[in-house]
Structure 1
């Protein structure tokens, strides 16, 4: 199969990732921090190594502030639902936010009485820090932004937004689900307070891994309460990190795989990975733009974007195209609204959704040529 759904989850995984998972499960996959025997110590050492690797990858100085979760959604819920909001507090977000941001924010609006402004993209399909600045008022407490849209591939000007946040004494929460492992991120240099990441996309790790980087002194209310392996005598969550936010048994084998994925990304180099993905994206954009009745969304072709291209074929349901590509051409894409309804409202596809193709380090120009031929055949078969 030609796999063009990399924005949902990268595939195939590097051999080293699979080997790391298998090695952990086969040799010592015990419960980290829950015993003093050899297997528990070995598993704990894997977690510690991965935590250091994540901290180094994102420029975190305090390793204990790397909190592991099952995915970025849990990490974002922790950052948003755990934030010390008071009634009437205001949040600035964007129309490009995934439901992993939007739904927790709307929950806090209903339960805590916060207000939210969603900043829409400009005519070039980009989020402008100037528009975010306009949305800030005297009750604004934080800015929540995605670093890159999972629908259009538009890249948010994170450094400028960070500078804006700091000038206004605002907390910055960043969803790096689409950019971790693709674009360089240094939480200290970029002054990011909370950064959520997932392991199974650009970091090339397995599903069931991700985390939250806490680069702030703000105390969050724990999202989950439970066992932490020690401090059992306390009737409340311990205050020490990372234990305060890591209740329950961690996905040790998955975290071992995540660690191997980060090592693989480091070896390949972020510059090389992005250059490869951009070359594929630019090539596909040019080919698609030459097909009659195809409408492409997002930033203009001359604007660098993530390896994500959303498009529609005039009058044809996006799900139908995805099914034909899957069943007749053995090509995997994503159709619909990609868990980002506000994005589709912003780009005018709220009723139809789009077909989204997304590329990764393992994809090739030859695969894109095969895909383009398939789209031309589908277009000719359905519209002529």
Structure 2
């Protein structure tokens, strides 16, 4: 690795956490086990895999900086296979294994329906990329490190108004329903405030065999002048390719969910000029981010994503909370994170409020020459 990741947050944890404290929390154990849950396999795995890698980097750095007598942190990885039934099953496994904290899951659809079961269980979930508005302002055992879905809707609706895009077709994936429903409804309300309207709405399930060509034809037949695809990177790339094959230059909008490395890899020239929400700026020149970016590239052979960055920062916040003590109970860690409140991220500061919700700012990007160019 060319560079050592050396953020202020992680340094603080590295040098302040003591052997006495960690040994007292896990007497007789050789490691502190932390869970990580996401879609680690299959066609929709890009978001979770890049998130897992960001978490791995943070933990690797912590373990390397720890003294020989200090206990290490170990990730226990479980795959929800992009299925909410499987997600609940493995969430129960974490509880049975007495793992106090889980990083993840990575999509709203993998936890929204689990919350009623999990609410009184002795476990804490730290979700780097779960943004569903249905989870806002609730005192539960979930802390989120991403801002709400409504923030994305505002950004995209403002861009549509600026571009004078008034007639929208919307295609959205039912496999992440907690997120996609909220984003659709928020965007629709804001679009109508700006005298726009949705003239076609079609849903699909990316886990099934989808006829993207047929969806694209319906979009063109609707005479919409803009298309909002609320899906992951794979679905977004495939739909956009079909739209362009039909010769349409309709403006295409996309959410943060699509903004992973797979979008550009799979979309090719078809995704040129797409407007997409971003959580990080890969061209950012801050020292901490550049060190992280280079370390990630060295280890994994590709640039990080917003999921990688948010996961790295989630682990950093967790380690700070562990350092505060006095134990590793989920309620203690939750209270410590909320008491800390303000955190230094790799690209600026962010905060966690009393409900465990974050206030990060989103950005808008345009894809030009296969690269994300930050908008005004």
Task: Report if TM-score (shorter chain) is over 0.5.
Answer: no
TM range (shorter): 0.3 to 0.5
Alignment TM-score, normalising by the size of structure 1 = 0.34
Decide which structure has greater helix share.
Answer: 2
